[in-house]
A and B are shown apart, each in its own frame.
Chain A
Amino acid sequence: MEVGKTTRELGLLKTGDSIMSLTGPLGLPTHIENYGTVVCVAGGFAVAPIMPIARAMKQAGNKVISILGARNKELIFWEDELRSVSDKLIVTTDDGTYGRKGLVTEPLKEILESREKVNLVVAIGPSIMMKFCARTTQPFGVKTIVSLNPIMVDGTGMCGCCRVVVGGQTKFACVDGPDFDAHQVDWDLLAARQRTYVEEEKKAMENWQCQCGKHS
Chain B
Amino acid sequence: MPRQEAAVRAKNFKEVALGYTPEMAVEEASRCIQCPKRPCVEGCPVNVDIPEFIKAVREGRMTDAVIALKNKNALPGICGRVCPQETQCEAKCTLLKQKAPVAIGRLERYVADWERQNKAAMPPAAPLPKSTGKKVAVIGSGPAGLTAAADLVKKGHSVTIFEALHVGGGVLMYGIPEFRLPKEIVQNEVNFVKSLGADLVLDAVVGKCDTIDELLNNDYDAVFLGTGAGLPMFLNIPGENANGIYSANEWLTRTNLMKAYLFPNYDTPLKVGKKVAVIGGGNVAMDGARCALRLGAEEVYIVYRRSEAELPARREEVGNAMEEGIIFKFLTNPTRFLDDGKGWVNGMECIEMELGEPDASGRRRPIAKKGSEFVMKIDTAVVALGTTPNPLIASTTEGLKTTSHGTVVADESTGKTVKDRVWAGGDIVTGAATVISAMGAGKRAAADIDKYLMGK
Mutual binders A and B: yes
**At the interface, is chain B mostly helix, strand, loop or mixed?**
loop
Q: Which of A24, A159, A195 contacts B208 (CB 8 A)?
A: A24
**Contact between B166 and A159 (Cβ–Cβ < 8 Å)?**
no
Q: CA of A114 to CA of B204 in the docked complex: distance in angstroms?
A: 48
Q: CA of A24 to CA of B11 in the docked complex: distance in angstroms?
A: 37
Distance from A8 Cβ to chain B, minimum over Cβ atoms (Å): 12
Q: Which of A154, A189, A207 contacts B264 (CB 8 A)?
A: A207
CB-CB < 8 A to B242: which residues of A?
Answer: 192
CB-CB < 8 A to A25: which residues of B?
Answer: 208-209
CB-CB < 8 A to B88: which residues of A?
Answer: none
Question: Which of B250, B263, B268, B342 is packed against the most chain A CB atoms within 10 Å?
Answer: B250
Tell me whether A158 and B390 are in contact in the complex, defined as CB-CB below 8 angstroms, given that A21-B166, A23-B203, A203-B264 are known contacts. Answer: yes
Tell me whether A157 and B390 are in contact in the complex, defined as CB-CB below 8 angstroms, given that A26-B208, A204-B264 are known contacts. Answer: yes
Asked if B296 is at the interface of the complex by the 8 Å CB criterion, the answer is: no
Tell me whether A158 and B166 are in contact in the complex, defined as CB-CB below 8 angstroms, given that A163-B241, A204-B264 are known contacts. Answer: no
Q: CA of A161 to CA of B343 in the docked complex: distance in angstroms?
A: 15
**A-B CB contacts (within 8 Å), total count:** 90
CB-CB < 8 A to A158: which residues of B?
Answer: 230-232, 249, 253, 390
Q: CA of A30 to CA of B369 in the docked complex: distance in angstroms?
A: 48
Asked if B164 is at the interface of the complex by the 8 Å CB criterion, the answer is: yes
Asked if B269 is at the interface of the complex by the 8 Å CB criterion, the answer is: yes
Asked if B421 is at the interface of the complex by the 8 Å CB criterion, the answer is: no
**Contact between B390 and A153 (Cβ–Cβ < 8 Å)?**
no
CB-CB < 8 A to B250: which residues of A?
Answer: 153, 159-161
**Contact between B267 and A153 (Cβ–Cβ < 8 Å)?**
no
Which A41-79 residues have a C-beta within 8 angstroms of B?
A: none
Asked if A119 is at the interface of the complex by the 8 Å CB criterion, the answer is: no
Asked if B116 is at the interface of the complex by the 8 Å CB criterion, the answer is: no
Q: CA of A200 to CA of B246 in the docked complex: distance in angstroms?
A: 17
**Contact between B258 and A189 (Cβ–Cβ < 8 Å)?**
no
Asked if A84 is at the interface of the complex by the 8 Å CB criterion, the answer is: no
**Contact between B247 and A23 (Cβ–Cβ < 8 Å)?**
no
**Contact between A156 and B205 (Cβ–Cβ < 8 Å)?**
yes
CB-CB < 8 A to A189: which residues of B?
Answer: 241, 343
Asked if B392 is at the interface of the complex by the 8 Å CB criterion, the answer is: yes
Q: CA of A211 to CA of B250 in the docked complex: distance in angstroms?
A: 29
Binding site for A on B (CB under 8 A): 164-166, 202-205, 208-209, 230-232, 234, 236, 240-243, 246-247, 249-250, 253-254, 258, 263-264, 267-269, 271, 342-343, 390-392
Pairs A-B, 8 closest by C-beta atoms: A192-B343, A159-B250, A21-B166, A23-B203, A158-B230, A160-B247, A200-B269, A159-B249
Binding site for B on A (CB under 8 A): 5-6, 20-26, 153-154, 156-161, 163, 165, 170, 175, 188-189, 192-193, 195-197, 200, 203-204, 207
List, sorted by A's number, 22 A–B pairs whose CB atoms are closer than 8 Å.
A20-B166, A22-B203, A23-B164, A23-B209, A24-B205, A24-B208, A153-B254, A154-B164, A156-B205, A157-B390, A160-B249, A161-B246, A161-B250, A163-B241, A170-B236, A170-B241, A189-B241, A193-B241, A195-B343, A196-B271, A200-B263, A204-B267
